[in-house]
Structure 1
Amino acid sequence: MIMRKWLATASLWTGCMLAGCDGPQNYMQAGGPAAAKLASIGAFTLILFSLVSIVVLLLLLWVAVRRRGTLESHAPIDADGGQRWILVGGIAVPVAVLATVFVSSLQAMSHYPMSHQDGAAADIRVTGRQWWFNAEYLGHTVHGRVNSPTEIHIPVGRPVDIELVTRDVIHSFWIPKLHGKVDLVPGMTNRIRIRADEPGVFSGECGEFCGAQHANMRLQVVAQSAEEFDRWLRDQRANAREPQTSSQKIGQQVFMSAACALCHTVRGTPALGQVGPDLTHVASRGHIAGGMLPNNRGTLTAWVSHAQELKPGSRMPDLPGLTGEQLIALSDYLQSLE
């Protein structure tokens, strides 16, 4: 009976540990060269410390099995022998293990630096706010400014230099499958270089506690072929689409007359607010609410009307005064902004 309980407990713990080996932010499944190097260090460190833990557990088991008599019946511990065990097992071995890990980490950081070293201008400026990230594509403003809240698009196989700043508190830019964490510190500009080796969507989040909604400050990096990226960038430069249906036209009027236009920008319209995310092409994004919610009609309507219930403390206010018809029209308009 006791053995059966032990087996059940061991199976439960094993299942929990294996469940943590997969996921959208598993850094061991690297999508770029920097993350691959960090993953190799992580695997080496995990194996090394697992071996050390096994040795320690075996020594404890050996002591428990060989225990005889009582403490009073044993002879005093030999001072020289005891000190030798302490010096070797308690100081020399830990120092050697930690020094090995430290040197390996330094080598990885020097080979794949967090920031570019050639003095070239950054490709993207990522700004952290409570609680969302905004990506501004630098050098692409001739035909219109490109802002992409919560979603960063990059070309596959090409290093992308990102400038990191914050508008309020300390945040941390972290895409586990592409690179390590880099903090966004008030008054400072940090850099990071990322590269994706294959197309895909790489999930990330803020890695530094930044307030009540820190856990809901997320972002995605979309790696595309060069042709798809250029097409996306060209589409993002364009102004917002004009409303086509009567419902979309009513929705635009609701957007302009309500508080929306005071906080958000929709290029090509009088809405030039800078408080919230740019909504010029909001329908083309996979998520809203700082990456918290999937972008569809239901979540968009809920976010507009009850943002404080979904994400308390965010800068997005509730708009309870809108009627059902106005909400439907407003969501029609926003869903047309591709």
Structure 2
Amino acid sequence: MINLAGPIGPTASHRISLLARRGVRILLACVARGACAQQPPQDALHPAGVQAAHILRLWHLSLIVCGAVFAAVLFATLIALVRRTDRSGNTGDDAQSVEHASLAQPHERGTQRAVAVVSVASVALLLGLIVADVLTDRVLSRLPVDDALHLEVTGEQWWWKVDYPGDAQQPGFSTANEFHVPAGRPVVIALKASDVIHSFWMPNLHGKKDMLPGIDSTIEFRVDKPGVYRGQCAEYCGAEHAWMAMFVTADTPEHYAHWRMQQATPAVTAALSPTDVVARRGLQIFEQSSCANCHTVRGTSAQGTLGPDLTHLMSRQTIAAGVLPNTQQNLAAWIRDPNALKPGTTMPTVPLPASDRQALVAWLGTLR
């Protein structure tokens, strides 16, 4: 007989042991990093809103029913294997065969009845799950939306554009990848896709909703627990699908009102007329380079719409749709070579000398 595994010599066993220890160290490092990073939660098992709670209850019911059916099937299979008798080896005369068959018939009828009962029970359980799914869908669609906050979210490759409409008190504005909502107040989001199919998914708040080019849809939710929650595109949309995150912050009504007022204003005076010589030069570079063709900074001549609105860039926690923390070092690296940090991104490399890039980053750092 051939030994497919082959002998493991001292060198091979040493390598396996080394790889195992290295793998354990990497795993422990990842666990420690995950525990200490304090990333916003993205977990459907910890709902922060009423819709997510309904979905979680449906998930628990489905898990219990499917788990029970799976266990019952395995148990029945085990019993069948234990009780199985090998009749193929009977070589007696015809009389013995007839006697054996007559004795086996009652047992076979009992087995058939058991299979029929289990089949009917399985169908009933599956129909029950369908009913539970329909009832959950009805509950999700009946969220009261009186005095709701209305937003518009557009899926781009690969970032999220969030538009806040104006009202009688404040003008409208746009932000990117990170947005705020008031806790305890319904939110109605109009979903759009400008290029390919995306899927809006905030696991702590609601289920998934597809975003189809040319077809508008809406999603409603309410955040009952203040905090920061992470979302993700849940439909493969291209090379950087996995790096298309979003963050929603649920504020108290007072904090939300302050945030919205600040976001609706143009860039602060210090950003528009910087006293720092380096930052003033950065403003000129921004307005005269290709940056102004793609980005908007309200209050300047930059009115581009291809990329995110940068009016209050430094009020965001991340850049590149959650890929990097929003620091000046990361901004400089992003401007220098965005494809090195997010391969496939549509943002082009901006060919600037190091001194100009430093000035540009200095001015972007004033956009708060």
Normalising TM by the smaller chain, what interval? 0.7 to 0.9
Partner residue in 2 for 1:233: 260
Aligned to 2:69: 52
Looking at structure 1, the residues matched to 141 and 54 of structure 2 have their Cα atoms a distance apart, in angstroms, of 11
- Structure 1 CA distance for aligned equivalents of residues 40 and 87 of structure 2: 51
How far apart in 1 are the matches of 2:317 and 2:214? 31
Deviation at 1:245, TM superposition (A): 1.9
The aligned residue for residue 60 of structure 2 is 43
1:123 is paired with a residue whose SS is: strand
Counterpart of 1:337?
367
Asked if the contact 1:122/1:163 (under 8 Å) is kept, the reply is: no
Q: How do 1:117-266 and structure 2 match up within 5 A?
A: 123-140=150-167, 143-241=170-268, 242=272, 243-266=274-297
| 1:6 alignment partner in structure 2 | none
By how many angstroms is 1:140 displaced?
A: 4.0
What is residue 88 of structure 1 aligned with on the other side?
117
Instruction: Please give the TM-score of this superposition, normalised by the length of structure 1.
Output: 0.85
Provide the residue aligned with 2:47 in structure 1.
Answer: 30
User: Does the CA contact (< 8 Å) of 1:116 and 1:192 recur in 2?
Assistant: no
Give the whole-Å Cα distance in 2 for the aligned partners of 1:60 and 1:130: 50
> Structure 1 residues 56 and 265, CA, compared in 2 at 3 Å: closer, same or farther?
same
Deviation larger for 78-87 or 293-302? 78-87
Deviations 1:237-280 (A, max 9, x none): 11112234222112112212221111000000000001000000
CA deviations on 1:280-315 (whole Å, 9 max, x unpaired) are: 011101111122222112221111111112222222
C-alpha displacement at 1:160, in angstroms? 0.9
User: How many percent of aligned residue pairs carry the same amino acid?
Assistant: 38
Task: Letter of the 1:105 partner, please give it.
Answer: D
Report the TM-score, using the length of structure 2 for normalisation.
0.79
**Structure 1 residues 114 and 294 mapped into 2: Cα distance closer, same or farther (>3 Å)?**
farther
**Alignment gaps of 5+ in structure 1:** 1-11
Structure-1 residue corresponding to 2:137: 109
Could you tell me whether the CA contact under 8 Å between 2:314 and 2:364 is conserved in 1?
yes
Q: Matched residues in 1 for 2:137 and 2:173: separation?
A: 31
More displaced 10-residue stretch of structure 1: 68-77 or 191-200: 68-77
The AA in structure 2 aligned to 1:25 is Q
Tell me which amino acid in the other structure corresponds to 2:223: A
Quote the offset at 1:49 in angstroms. 1.6
Which residue of 2 is the match for residue 4 of structure 1? none
Letter in 2 for 1:24: P
CA change 1:310–1:328 in 2 (3 A) is: same
Q: Deviations over 1:92-112 (max 9, x none)?
A: 233222211221121111112
Q: Give the Cα–Cα distance (whole angstroms) in 1 for the partners of residues 117 and 333 of structure 2.
A: 62
Q: Deviations over 1:16-38 (max 9, x none)?
A: xxx9xx98221110000000111
Could you tell me which of 64, 89, 97 is aligned with 2:125?
A: 97
What residue identity is the alignment partner of 2:366? S
User: How far does residue 141 in structure 1 lie from its aligned partner after superposition?
Assistant: 8.0
Aligned twin of 1:5: none
For residue 112 of structure 1, give the secondary structure of its aligned residue in structure 2.
helix
Deviation readout 1:35-75 (Å, 9 max, x if unpaired): 01111111121122222222222233333444554754597
Matched residues in 1 for 2:280 and 2:51: separation?
A: 47
State the distance in 1 between where 2:329 and 2:197 align. Answer: 32
Q: Letter of the aligned partner of 2:361 in structure 1?
A: S
Which residue number in structure 1 is paired with residue 337 of structure 2? Answer: 306
The structure carrying a bigger helix percent of its residues is 2
CA distance in 1, matches of 2:73, 2:168: 60
Distance 1:65 1:80 in 2: 18
- The worse-fitting range, judged by mean Cα deviation, of 195-204 and 68-77 is 68-77
Q: Name structure 2 gaps, 5 residues minimum.
A: 1-23, 32-38, 91-96
Q: Shift of residue 209 of structure 1? A: 1.2
**Structure 1 pair 280/71, CA: closer, same or farther in 2 (3 Å)?**
farther
Q: How many equivalent residue pairs?
A: 318
Q: Paired residue for 1:292, among 291, 307, 323?
A: 323
CA–CA distance in structure 2, aligned partners of residues 280 and 46 of structure 1: 46
CA shift, 1:186, in A, is: 1.5
Contact 2:155 2:161 in 1 (8 A): yes
Letter paired with 1:315: T
User: Residue type matched to 1:112 in 2?
Assistant: L
Partners of 1:249 and 1:191 in 2: CA distance: 42
What CA distance in whole angstroms lies between the structure 2 residues aligned with 1:138 and 1:72? 81
Distance in 1 between residues matched to 2:177 and 2:281, nearest whole Å: 27
| Counterpart AA for 2:281 | I
